[in-house]
Amino acid sequence: MSLLFSPWHLPSPRGGITLPNRLVVAPMCQYQAVDGCATDWHLMHWGNLLNSGAAMFTIEATAVLPEGRITPQCLGLWDDSTEAALGEHLKRARALAPATAVCIQLAHAGRKASSAVPWQGGQLLSPDQGGWQTVAPSPLPHLPTEAPPTDLSMAGLVQVREAFVAAALRARRIGVDAIELHAAHGYLLHQFLSPLSNQRSDAYGGSFENRVRFPLEVFAAMRAAYDGVLGLRLSATDWVEGGWDLPQSEAFCQQLKAAGCDFIHVSSGGVSPQQKIALGAGYQLPFARAIHASSGLATVAVGLITEPDQAEAVLQAGDADLVALARAFLYEPRWGWHAAARLGGTVTANPSYWRCLPREAQAAFGQVAIGGR
C-alpha cells in the first residue's frame, strides 16, 4: 500500500484535520498582488492547484505588514481590504475543489523586503523605485552593497508580533484550514535565529536562548489566539560555518513542540549570500529526518523531490510524515494524478476532467472514462 496515498491527521487544539493523502503543495510566491490584495491571477492559480490531487495546498508567503512584503507585488493580509480580496478569491477557487485543505504561510521579509520581482533582478528597491525602509534584528544588510535595515526597537517587536496574531485571526475568518509561520529562507524570523544576521546585545540576541526568543514569542502569541492547525517552516541550516545549524534547529523544534506546534516544514538556507548548498535530489531530507527523530513533530519534507517513487521512498524510510513539492506542481499541475496512477493510490478531481484520463489512470479516480455528446 502506498504511504503517499494513505491518510494523515494533523492535530490542533480544536481537533485538527485529516488529510486523505500525504502530498502537499508548498507555498510559492507569485508576485501578482496589487497593494497586497489578491487578484484574478490568484483565482486561476489556486483553482488550478486545488485540483492537483494534493491533500493540502499552501498559499504563498503572505505578509502581515506592508513593509513585510518581499516585493511591492506580494500578497498581504494586514487590513480589511487585503482580507476581503484574499477571502473572496479563495472562496471562489475553493468552490471548484472543496475537498482540498488550504494552508496559508504568514510571513515578514525583514531585511529581504522592498525587493524587485525576480524577473526584474530581485535587488533591493530604493524609495524612489517604489521601495521602503526595511527592518531587521540588527542593522546589517543582506548584501554589502545594499542600504542597511533599521534594527527593530521593542515597540517594533511588539508591532510585528501583534501583526502576526491579527493575520492569523483574519486567516481563520476567511476559512483557511492551517497556518504555516515562515521562519525560513532568510526572512525576518530566520534573521532572528541566525547569528549571521542577529547581532543584538539585548535579550533577543547573542545566545541561542536569546536568538530563539522572538520567534518563540510570535509563535506562542499566535498559538494563544488561533486554535487551528499551526506549524512553522524552518531553515535547518544556513549552509555557512558559524551560522544557524541542525543541532540548533533540533533544540528549537523541541521548544516549538512544547509551545503547541502541530507540524514543522523543513527547508534550508537563504539568510546569507555566502551559503554553499550541496544541491542534489532530496538534499534536505537528512535535516527532515533528524528533526523528525529528535522532536517527534509531524514533519514535512521538501527540496528537489520530483518523482512519485522518490516521494514514496521518503515516507517508507520514515524520514517525514508529509511530502511537499513546489516547482514540480507549477510545471505539472496534475502531478498528484500521475503519482496516484503510478503508486496505486486514489485522488479526487472535478468530474469535468474525468474524460481526459487514459485507461491506465482510471483506477486512480475510482471512475471509468465517460462519454459525451
What tens digit of pLDDT does each residue of 332-364 get? 999 999 999 999 998 887 778 777 777 777 666
Catalytic annotation present for 187: yes
What tens digit of pLDDT does each residue of 176-234 get? 999 999 999 999 999 999 999 999 999 999 999 999 999 999 999 999 999 999 999 99
Could you give the residue ranges of the DSSP H alpha helices within the chain? 40-49, 80-94, 154-173, 188-193, 208-211, 213-225, 246-258, 285-295, 308-316, 327-331, 335-343
CB atoms within 10 A of CB 123: 14
Closest C-alpha among 360, 353, 349, 363 to residue 54: 349
Q: What are phi and psi of 80, to 5 degrees?
A: -65, -35
Give me the catalytic one of 31, 187, 204, 226: 187
pLDDT band at 282 (very low <50, low <70, confident <90, very high): confident
What tens digit of pLDDT does each residue of 79-108 get? 999 999 999 999 999 998 888 999 999 999
The C-alpha atoms of residue 257 and residue 85 are separated, in whole angstroms, by 33
Convert 316-340 into a string of H (helix), E (strand) and C (coil). Answer: HCCCCCEEEECHHHHHCCCHHHHHH
CB-based burial of residue 172 (10 Å sphere; 0-12 exposed, 13-18 middle, 19+ buried)?
A: middle
Domain 8-365: what homologous superfamily? Aldolase class I (3.20.20.70)
Between strands 229-235 and 178-183, the pairing is parallel
DSSP category for residue 124: B
**Residues 150/159, Cβ–Cβ less than 8 Å:** no
- Mean residue pLDDT of the chain comes to 94
Task: Give pTM, 2 decimals.
Answer: 0.95
Residue 371: predicted pLDDT: 44
Kindly state the average pLDDT of the residues 14-18: 95
DSSP category for residue 110: G
Q: Which three cell numbers stand for residue 38?
A: 489578491
Closest C-alpha among 248, 299, 263 to residue 180: 263
**Residues 30/63, Cβ–Cβ less than 8 Å:** no
The C-alpha atoms of residue 127 and residue 125 are separated, in whole angstroms, by 7
pLDDT band at 278 (very low <50, low <70, confident <90, very high): confident
pLDDT band at 369 (very low <50, low <70, confident <90, very high): very low
The C-alpha atoms of residue 171 and residue 237 are separated, in whole angstroms, by 29
Residue 365: predicted pLDDT: 67
Question: DSSP assignment of 230-292, as one string?
Answer: EEEEEES--SSTTS--HHHHHHHHHHHHHTT--EEEEE---S-TT-----STTTTHHHHHHHH
What tens digit of pLDDT does each residue of 66-75 get? 999 999 999 9
Residue 372: predicted pLDDT: 46
Query: Does residue 308 carry a pLDDT above 70?
Result: yes
What tens digit of pLDDT does each residue of 133-144 get? 999 999 999 999
